[in-house]
């Protein structure tokens, strides 16, 4: 069992971005072309000259940039293995070599507008600039204070839940000691998950196991009032997602959807594959008069930030209210441990 490590509440540095991510490719294309436009503006006096010079710059820039992005996409798994700085150095060398090769080839055909050395230097400068940008972006999404707040938010083991669970266990000790022991194990496992470093991706199977432990504890106090319907495609088990993603959503569903009611309430959890994405859907009862509680919105905003950090524009989180049912739909890229690299 891992002990609590206060160093887990810290900023995350030295992590190469996901080169298979559409958001990264889009940002790289925009940044490179913007830099080319600035170069054209600085070296031209009139608008026609700017357009002409930018077109000539793009004729060399676009082929090398697209070829580099394709190469990094293919090599993504291996680039992560040697560590951040070694991986970044390899990325920069790949970009420089491709840029120099494309420029030399175009020059040989009489179509080139820049020397191989200039193109390689520009590629290196662009790599350094983008690496700094993605590092700053990661820090912006996961500062130490926000991660500390996230730790507390993710736990979501509110005092009333903790005390009620302890009381439920105490009531079981004599009449059902085996179930009481299982409940204590569930509580210990939940605390272990909360107090360990939660910045790395975990499998869906792990998230479901943790969520089932939480629901077992809630069943002790809510009994038949809590009805949970699971619909999980077995092939989705190895897919990677941010830790403590499903359990806080389910806990909010209990807190905001089941507890305010007087009778039984139903939570529906569906997990399936939709093309190259994992689709996670959660539906629970909606009580408008109880929506002054802010915990649900805070959790959704926080989870949205973590999805953006890990998957950029390839992940989405949507909410809707239909027929007094609150629905959350999360879509993330289909990534498994073998595909994600170490």
Residue 253 in contact with residue 284, Cβ under 8 Å?
yes
Confidence of residue 162 (pLDDT cuts 50, 70, 90): low
Distance (Å, rounded) from C-alpha 30 to C-alpha 277?
A: 25
**Domain 144-340 grouped into CATH 3.30.565.10:** yes
How distant, in Å, are the alpha carbons of 19, 51, 100, 256, 334 from that of 27?
11, 22, 22, 38, 21
Concatenating the DSSP letter of every residue in 8-21 gives GSS--------TT-
Where are any strands of DSSP class E within the chain?
Answer: 202-203, 226-232, 240-241, 265-274, 277-285, 316-322, 325-333
Name the pTM for this structure. Answer: 0.64
Could you report the per-residue pLDDT of 48-101, keeping only the tens digit for each? Answer: 888 888 888 887 788 888 888 888 888 887 887 777 788 888 888 888 888 888
Find the mean pLDDT for residues 28-43.
85
Distance (Å, rounded) from C-alpha 249 to C-alpha 300?
A: 8
Residues carrying CATH 3.30.565.10, the chain: 144-340
Find the mean pLDDT for residues 107-126.
77
Query: How far is the first Cα of the chain from the last one, in angstroms, to the nearest whole number?
Result: 22
Question: Of the ranges 9-13, 138-142, 178-182, 326-330, which one carries the lowest mean pLDDT score?
Answer: 9-13
Could you report the per-residue pLDDT of 218-244, keeping only the tens digit for each? Answer: 887 788 899 999 999 999 999 999 888
How distant, in Å, are the alpha carbons of 41, 98, 201, 241 from that of 198?
46, 37, 8, 11
Find the mean pLDDT for residues 209-224.
85
DSSP state of 23: H
Measured in degrees and rounded to the nearest 5, phi and psi for residue 81 equal -70, -45
């Amino acid at each position: 069992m891992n002990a609590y490590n206060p160093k887990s509440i810290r900023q995350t540095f030295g992590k190469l971005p996901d080169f298979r991510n559409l958001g990264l490719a889009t940002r790289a294309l925009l940044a490179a072309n913007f830099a080319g436009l600035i170069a054209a503006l600085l070296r031209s006096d009139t608008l026609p000259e700017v357009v002409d010079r930018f077109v000539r710059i793009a004729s060399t820039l676009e082929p090398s940039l697209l070829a580099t992005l394709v190469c990094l996409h293919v090599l993504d798994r291996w680039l992560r293995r040697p560590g951040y700085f070694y991986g970044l150095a390899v990325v920069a060398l790949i970009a420089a070599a491709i840029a120099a090769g494309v420029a030399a080839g175009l020059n040989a055909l009489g179509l080139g507008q820049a020397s191989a050395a200039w193109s390689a230097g520009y590629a290196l400068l662009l790599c350094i600039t983008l690496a700094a940008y993605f590092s700053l972006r990661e820090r912006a999404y996961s500062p130490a204070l926000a991660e500390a707040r996230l730790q507390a938010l993710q736990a979501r083991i509110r005092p009333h839940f903790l005390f009620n669970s302890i009381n439920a266990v105490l009531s079981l000790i004599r009449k059902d000691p085996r179930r009481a022991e299982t409940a204590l194990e569930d509580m210990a496992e939940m605390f272990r998950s909360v107090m360990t470093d939660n910045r790395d991706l975990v499998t869906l199977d792990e998230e479901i196991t943790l969520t089932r432990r939480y629901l077992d504890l809630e069943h002790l106090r809510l009994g038949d009032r809590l009805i949970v319907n699971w619909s999980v495609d077995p092939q989705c088990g190895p897919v990677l997602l941010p830790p403590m993603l499903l359990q806080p959503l389910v806990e909010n569903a209990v807190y905001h959807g089941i507890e305010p009611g007087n009778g039984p309430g139903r939570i529906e959890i569906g997990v399936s594959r939709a093309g190259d994405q994992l689709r996670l859907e959660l539906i629970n009862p909606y009580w408008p008069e109880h929506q002054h509680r802010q915990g649900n919105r805070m959790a959704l905003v926080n989870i949205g930030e973590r999805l953006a950090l890990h998957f950029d524009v390839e992940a989405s989180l949507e909410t809707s209210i239909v027929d007094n049912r609150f629905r959350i739909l999360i879509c993330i890229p289909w990534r498994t441990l073998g595909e994600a690299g170490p």
